[in-house]
Amino acid sequence: MHSSSIIAVAAAVAGLAQPAIATYQTDKGAQINFYTDKSCTKYTGEAACWWSKSPLIGWMVNGGQEAECFQLNMPGNSLSINTANIWSKAGSQTKGNCYLFDDYNCKGNSVTSNYVPGSGTCFGSRSKDGWLWKSASCASV
């Protein structure tokens, strides 16, 4: 095997071991990631909210804007979930919270996922009653 092939294979394998990070897109406010392991490293999907299209991220400054509830549509094989990132309107990382609910329309049992840039607390994919998290709302600080 040529050394360039070995390097390409090594790079591909190393890429698989990396935890998923949130990818900024213009106007994205927050991203919640789903994982198939219990330590938030094996990415399987995501949900997002936005600054100027539905679902809207909330803004907890000077009255701001109210956060809209959105459906997570988390895959059934998910074992963990986290708030992967929250962005300001300008696109820089910022602090905030996402509220996860085990029923639709932001009802039922809930947990608060506090986000500080560089850290997204990993939670189990199910509530205390064993239901997958089904809906969420997020707000930046």
Model pLDDT for residues 51-75, shown as the tens digit of each residue: 999 999 998 777 778 999 999 999 9
Calpha distance 63→103 (Å, rounded): 27
- CATH number (domain holding residue 41): 2.60.20
- Token pair in block for residue 82: 């986290």
Calpha distance 48→33 (Å, rounded): 9
Whether 28 is in a domain gets the answer: yes
Calpha distance 141→43 (Å, rounded): 26
Whether 80 is in a domain gets the answer: yes
Number of domain units in the chain: 1
Which residues are registered as beta bridge partners of 101? 110, 135
- List pLDDT tens digits, range 94-125: 999 999 999 999 999 999 999 999 888 999 99
Q: Is the Cβ–Cβ distance between 36 and 78 less than 8 Å?
A: yes
What pLDDT is recorded for position 19? 46
Calpha distance 66→84 (Å, rounded): 21
Whether 5 is in a domain gets the answer: no
Whether 66 is in a domain gets the answer: yes
**63-67: long-range pairs with CB below 8 Å, 24+:** 64/139, 67/137, 67/138, 67/139
What is the sign of the dihedral through the CA atoms of 109, 107, 85 and 64?
A: negative
Calpha distance 102→128 (Å, rounded): 9
Whether 27 is in a domain gets the answer: yes
pTM over 0.95: no
Whether 3 is in a domain gets the answer: no
Whether 46 is in a domain gets the answer: yes
> Which residues constitute the domain of residue 96?
22-140
Whether 9 is in a domain gets the answer: no
Q: Which helix (H) or strand (E) holds 25?
A: none
- List pLDDT tens digits, range 8-35: 333 333 333 334 578 889 999 999 999 9
